């Protein structure tokens, strides 16, 4: 914990942590209680004193834990101040590593990790102005008798606070699968965490590809075909976002036409076939994007596209410009809510998980719009905004996007 606090303090001084940092540690017998807990209500002081068990308070909240040389402590320091996002990433990392070692681990809504019906790891966190610190206490070969006694207050306090038996709720991982002693387990976990699968989700329009000309020409064609005013192509960046239908509604309204459902449907009927035939005429990848994708593939990352463009066009454009690059490509689909609803992120994860335990990927989302920012936040995954797309950097800054990059290669440090 002192190392965590030192790194957090140093991060505050330099005002930036470039990449997440993870490390493991092992302690001699210690009771660690949360920042907001009352020591006398959580700790059996007499037992701890008699058995030479240290008692310390940590910076984070959460419950009281006992740790000894059968525990593996895992710390994760992230550049994100969105604590729930960090929790999601950390829990995916832990659950994924344990599953790869043969433990059927899943995370819970309470930010714990369980195997079967028993808890094997608890987590807690605290935030600084520049990041978040999360730590886990993982039970591998803990002295369960000491655990129960050390964090069970005397009987009168037990009755007063109705504390349940600890042993009924937790188990040692070694009981499920014996991988050797704690040092062997530690080495194996570190290797699995280091090679944890990463999933990078990209927005399409304004992030991977500059599609504005083809969208603008298609929309103008459809508007003109229906007898409505058209717009200069330079006006279209402020009209796009939230899918084709929303684009048409905005274009109609910008021309002084109320976008009633029947009128919008009429323009859509003209737009779709024209755009299907011409959606690769002027569209091009942004400079540096092909190199970024190649670098991420070389790192072993899974890559996905999450777009509000309708599915048929999304698939065609991605396969045209990036054949064989992406592991999942999802756009707007019938009866599925559009971004910023997080369903598209969940569907991408489900598509890639196959027979794995859900939510074991470490996910990062790159997009150019506030819709993308909201999508990532709603899905509980870290977000990086790019300034080369359809939304000006000043707008991204005003919206308090925590991480903004100005060139595709600037994405790489987030995945080291």
- Contact between residue 199 and residue 300 where contact means Cβ atoms under 8 Å apart: no
Token pair recorded at residue 223 = 């508007």
DSSP designation for 205: B
Residue 296 has a pLDDT of 94
Q: How many CB atoms lie within 10 A of CB 237?
A: 18
What percent of the chain lies above the pLDDT cut of 70? Answer: 88
Residue 4 has a pLDDT of 60
Q: What are phi and psi of 363, to 5 degrees?
A: -110, 140
Q: Which residue has the tokens 């058209």?
A: 230
Give the span between the Cα atoms of 210 and 203, in whole angstroms. Answer: 11
Residue 194 has a pLDDT of 77
Q: What are phi and psi of 118, to 5 degrees?
A: -120, 140
Give the span between the Cα atoms of 18 and 5, in whole angstroms. Answer: 17
Residues in the chain: 416
- Cα angle 113-117-118, degrees, rounded to a multiple of 5: 55
pLDDT digits (tens, 9 = 90+) for 242-299: 889 999 999 999 999 999 999 999 999 999 999 999 999 999 999 999 999 999 999 8
- Contact between residue 318 and residue 306 where contact means Cβ atoms under 8 Å apart: no
Token pair recorded at residue 373 = 């920012």
Helix (H, G, I), strand (E, B) or coil at 136: strand
Please tell me which residue in 141, 203, 205, 372 is annotated as part of the active site: 203
- Contact between residue 62 and residue 33 where contact means Cβ atoms under 8 Å apart: no
- Contact between residue 236 and residue 219 where contact means Cβ atoms under 8 Å apart: yes
Ranges of the chain whose pLDDT falls below 70: 1-20, 79-80, 153-168, 196, 354-361, 416
Q: Which residue has the tokens 């909201």?
A: 374
Give the span between the Cα atoms of 258 and 252, in whole angstroms. Answer: 7
Q: What are phi and psi of 43, to 5 degrees?
A: -120, 140
Q: Which residues pair with 329 in a beta bridge?
A: 305
Residue 359 has a pLDDT of 47
Cis? peptide before 13, omega within 30° of 0: no
* Model pTM score: 0.65
Q: How many CB atoms lie within 10 A of CB 45?
A: 16
pLDDT digits (tens, 9 = 90+) for 182-239: 999 999 999 888 776 789 999 999 999 999 999 999 999 999 999 999 999 999 999 9
- Asked whether the CA dihedral 320, 322, 325, 326 is positive or negative, the reply is negative
291 is catalytic: no
Q: Which residues pair with 384 in a beta bridge?
A: 366
Task: Return all residues near 366 (Cβ < 8 A) that are at least 6 apart.
Answer: 200, 201, 202, 203, 207, 372, 383, 384, 385, 386, 411
Centroid of chain to Cα 356: 18
């Amino acid at each position: 914990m002192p190392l965590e606090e030192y790194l957090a303090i140093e991060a505050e001084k330099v005002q930036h942590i470039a990449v997440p940092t993870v490390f493991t540690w092992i302690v001699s017998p210690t009771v660690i209680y949360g920042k907001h807990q009352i020591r006398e209500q959580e700790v059996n002081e007499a037992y701890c004193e008699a058995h030479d068990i240290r008692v310390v308070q940590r910076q984070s909240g959460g419950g009281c834990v006992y740790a000894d040389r059968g525990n593996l402590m895992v710390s994760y320091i992230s550049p994100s101040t969105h604590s729930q996002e960090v929790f999601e990433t950390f829990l995916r990392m832990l659950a994924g590593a344990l599953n790869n070692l043969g433990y059927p681990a899943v995370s819970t809504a309470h930010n714990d990790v369980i195997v079967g019906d028993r808890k094997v790891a608890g987590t807690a966190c605290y935030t600084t102005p520049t990041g978040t610190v999360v730590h886990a206490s993982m039970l591998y070969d803990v002295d369960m008798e000491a655990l129960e006694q050390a964090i069970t207050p005397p009987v009168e306090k037990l009755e007063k606070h109705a504390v349940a038996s600890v042993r009924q709720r937790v188990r040692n991982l070694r009981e499920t699968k014996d991988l050797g002693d704690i040092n062997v387990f530690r080495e194996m976990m570190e290797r699995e965490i280091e090679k944890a699968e990463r999933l990078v989700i990209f927005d399409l329009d304004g992030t991977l590809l500059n599609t504005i000309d083809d969208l603008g020409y298609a929309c103008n064609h459809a508007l003109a075909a229906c007898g409505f005013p058209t717009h200069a192509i330079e006006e279209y960046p402020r009209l796009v976002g939230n899918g084709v239908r929303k684009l048409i509604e905005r274009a109609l309204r910008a021309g002084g036409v109320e976008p009633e459902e029947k009128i919008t449907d009429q323009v859509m009927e003209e737009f779709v076939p024209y755009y299907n035939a011409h959606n690769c005429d002027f569209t091009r990848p942004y400079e540096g994007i092909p190199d970024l994708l190649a670098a991420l593939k070389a790192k072993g990352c899974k890559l996905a596209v999450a777009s509000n463009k309708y599915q048929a066009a999304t698939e065609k454009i991605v396969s045209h410009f990036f054949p064989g690059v992406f592991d999942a490509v999802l756009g707007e689909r019938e009866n599925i809510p559009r971004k910023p609803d997080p369903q598209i992120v969940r569907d991408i994860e489900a598509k890639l998980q196959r027979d794995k335990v859900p939510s074991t990927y470490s996910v990062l989302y790159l997009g150019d719009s506030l819709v993308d920012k909201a999508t990532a936040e709603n899905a509980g995954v870290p977000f990086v905004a790019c300034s080369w797309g359809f939304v000006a950097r000043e707008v991204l800054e005003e919206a308090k996007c925590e991480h903004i990059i100005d060139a595709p290669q600037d994405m790489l440090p987030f995945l080291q």
